[in-house]
Amino acid sequence: MSLANEQKRLLEDLYEQMAPNFLTPLWEMLATLVKPEPSSPAASHRWSYREMRDFLLRAGDLISAEQAERRVLILENPTLPGLSAITPSLYAGLQMILPGEIAPAHRHSQCALRFVMEGSGAFTSVGGEKAIMNPFDLVLTPGGEWHDHGNPTDIPMIWLDGLDIPTVRLFDATFAEHLDSKVHPETMPPGSSLAAYGQNMRPMHGHTADYRPVAQPLFHYPFAKWRAALDGLARTSPIDPHLGHALEFLNPADGGAIMNTISAHVRLLPAGFSSAPRQSTDGTIFVVVEGEGTAQVGEREFALMPRDVVVVPSWSKLGLEARKDLVLFGFSDKVSQQKLGLYKEKCA
Ligand code: 1HN
């Protein structure tokens, strides 16, 4: 036996004897643990809204929102089965609440955002203040806040949920509880937080502070406002070759990201615009708000139609092409990565 073969045999013996003691050799693993650049276990994928919506309506015939607690179809990344993850750190689901239904009040450590897909007039109540929702509004439920949903209208309401479930799971730090009553008592009239904090101003003596956390006073970012801001930016600033016209949603309390673990932004790509390829370490979930175009993600190409959802994993090369004026909403774990000193991007 050659010396090399003899070494191999002895090492394999050693591994076999170590294994029952829960010990394994780093030198066999090092190359997969420490890589020159990210190679995400997540796949890129597009979910067609029309297809998801059909399944969700069928679920609506079979289970009530109250029975389900939340009637949601999870968008599971094709290469992360069983993990309730659309990227390694984030969760996404399509939720529906039918006329007359309520989704009972609870709170948990996880942060959530809602991005409205269709319906008008249903609400999410956060800490007892209702956000009356319209298509493409962004509504936040920061971790630890009581929230319930209700639909007093006569049409279904559907939105995309984005949560940091896999992040909180990673840190093993999850708590949750139900409220004694199904619905949180009203603490403030609808629109209070938006009036007080949604105009780049704040009340001089913090009258909402009893109900809304001082560190996170705003939880409703209406479509009408963000869409107008995007148009204003497009009229007044040169376009970014990699992003298009892009605006990030902010927490007015500190000028930082909207929540502790989730960042969100919107972009406008004018018809005929092609973005230069860009990579970033924050795997991102996009919702098509308006227009048509294509997303080139690495080697794959996805046609983009209104309300479709596309996931772009960490460090994938993304190029976007707008056939008609294309408006996108995106969310990611960028803020978590920045806090941990991990975030990187690269523009070609
Ligand atoms: C949750 O609280 C909601 O409040 C939706 O609508 C989806 C997924 C996992 C854990 C909590 C909601 C959720 C969730």
List pocket residues of ligand 1, CB cut-off 6 Å.
Answer: 70, 72, 93, 95, 103, 108, 110, 112, 147, 149, 161, 163, 165
Chain centre distance of CA 231: 23
CA 70 to ligand 1 center in whole angstroms? 6
Measured CA distances, 115 to 57, 140, 225 (Å): 18, 9, 14
What confidence score (pLDDT) does residue 204 get? 82
Q: Is 52 left (phi over 0), alpha (psi -120 to 50) or beta?
A: alpha
Alpha helices in 183-312 (DSSP H): 192-197, 223-236
Q: Which atom of ligand 1 is nearest to the CA of 149?
A: 6
Q: Mean pLDDT in runs of 10 for the chain (348 residues)?
A: 89 97 96 95 98 98 92 98 98 97 96 98 96 98 96 98 98 97 93 92 70 85 98 98 98 96 98 98 98 98 98 98 98 98 95
CATH superfamily of the domain spanning 39-343:
Jelly Rolls (2.60.120.10)
Q: Identify the CA nearest to 24 among candidates 36, 35, 37, 11.
A: 11
For 265-281, write each residue's pLDDT tens digit.
999 999 999 999 999 99
What does the pLDDT read at residue 210? 60
Helix (H, G, I), strand (E, B) or coil at 98: coil
For residue 335, what pLDDT is reported? 98
Q: Ligand 1 centre from 288 Cα, in Å? A: 22
User: What angle (nearest 5°) sits at the alpha carbon of residue 165, between those of residues 160 and 168?
Assistant: 150
pLDDT in tens, 154-196: 999 999 999 999 999 999 999 999 999 999 999 999 999 999 9
Q: Report d(CA 123, CA 348) in Å as an integer.
A: 42
CA-closest candidate to residue 41, choices 261, 253, 311: 311
pLDDT reported for residue 207: 56
For residue 211, the model assigns a pLDDT of 60
What single string gives the DSSP state of each residue in 169-188? HHHT---EEE-SSSSPPP-B
pLDDT of residue 262: 98
